[in-house]
Structure 1
Amino acid sequence: ARGCLEAYAGAEAMLARWREAGGQPPPGTDEEAALTALVSAARPGDGGEADPVAAEVLAETAEYLGAGLADLVNLFQPERILVGGWAGLQLGPAFLDSVRIHTLAHALRHPAARVGIALGRLGPDAVTVGAAILPLAAFFARGGHRAPVDSPTPVPAWQAALGGRLAEQRGGG
């Protein structure tokens, strides 16, 4: 109700909140390297002291993402939610447990009990891999046969609906 989830939980938003609170990513770094610096500052691996500002940004982001995922859980009741993309995979180990806790706290009890939240395993190019699988899925749906060359391509449902509306407007005007 207060804006796009990306504006709160996206990498750019996280880095902006960190900078506004006094965090300093290495100068001249790209977004990915700056996010790595944020995670390292919040959770130093060498036993050093965590930057409380960076840790707070991660905690806030986990809460925002958890609330957003809870809406998806309530609406669609999925069995599994996979967090992916370069930022999600980079952040996942550092805050996935917190995202789960916030998701379950904000979601309805029944659908929350049935959903699993995990890191995707296809890597940062998951969207590309998924798109590449679409033609294969269509091929297998046809039983492993090629579509006949002379067969008409079915009109997408959105296009058929739009055509029907245009015809109604022309006939009623």
Structure 2
Amino acid sequence: WGHLTVRVRGRRCRCGAQGCLEAYAGAEALLERWREAGGVPPAGADEETALTAMLAAAYPAEPGTEPGGTDPGAAPRTEPDATALAVLAETAEYLGAGFADLINLFQPERILVGGWAGLQLGTRFLETVSGYAKQYALTYPASRTGIGLGTLGPEAVTVGAALLPLVDFFAQGGRRPESKPTTPAPAWQSALQDRVST
């Protein structure tokens, strides 16, 4: 799904194609776009830390909202980073358009956003993403699809993959599939096969 084209002749994706959703909304691409627009991610930080810094720049906390920040002499609220806000707003629209494609193709009842980046970003602008999804999707299926945050945590993909063998096991009633006894081929069939092959 991350490799659906959302922009013709767009950014080069790590898969080699151009204009993929991942080239605009993936964590790596999001940080790269912020950097290109003039943002300053922390030097040497991993993606998760850099994305946290981007969100902090876009949505600076009010004084007194940080842990232990009830000091009345705290510094005044800093202004949001307009560059980070613009990149995040554009990303919300790309994600909404990507969700609209899923809605139009599969008409799901629910779309859950997960993974470490999805959970970190989703708390801030899932409502905006949902608005764009409804705007770009067909009206009827969009009205029947809910978009929310997953509850399996940042390792949801791993948990889902680990459940696949269990799902198969329980689908078979908790038993291994019985192997059907094989009957040997009749002698005339083997003899005929030998003649044909020589």
TM-score range, shorter chain: 0.7 to 0.9
Q: 1:111 aligns with which of 141, 153, 156?
A: 141
Q: Is 1:64 equivalent to 2:70 in the alignment? A: no
SS of equivalent to 2:133: helix
Q: Percent identity?
A: 67
Find the counterpart in structure 2 of residue 127 from structure 1. 157
5+ residue gaps, structure 1: 153-173
Q: What CA RMSD, in Å, does the superposition of the two structures yield over aligned residues?
A: 1.4
CA–CA separation in structure 1 for the residues paired with 2:98 and 2:57: 25
Q: Which runs of 4+ in 1 moved over 3 A?
A: none
TM-score by length of 1: 0.83
2:56 matched to 1:40? yes
How far did 1:14 drift? 1.0
CA, structure 1 residues 19+151, in 2 after alignment: closer, same or farther (shift >3 Å)?
farther
Matched, 1:16 2:32: yes
Match of 1:79 among 97, 109, 115: 109
Cα shift at 1:20: 1.1
How many residues are aligned here?
A: 151
Q: CA deviation at 1:49?
A: 1.8
Given residue 44 of structure 2, which amino acid in structure 1 is its aligned partner? G
Q: Which has the higher contact order (CA 8 A, sep 6+)?
A: 1
Q: Report the CA distance between 1:12 and its aligned residue.
A: 1.3
Q: Give the gaps of 5 or more residues in structure 2.
A: 9-18, 63-76, 182-198
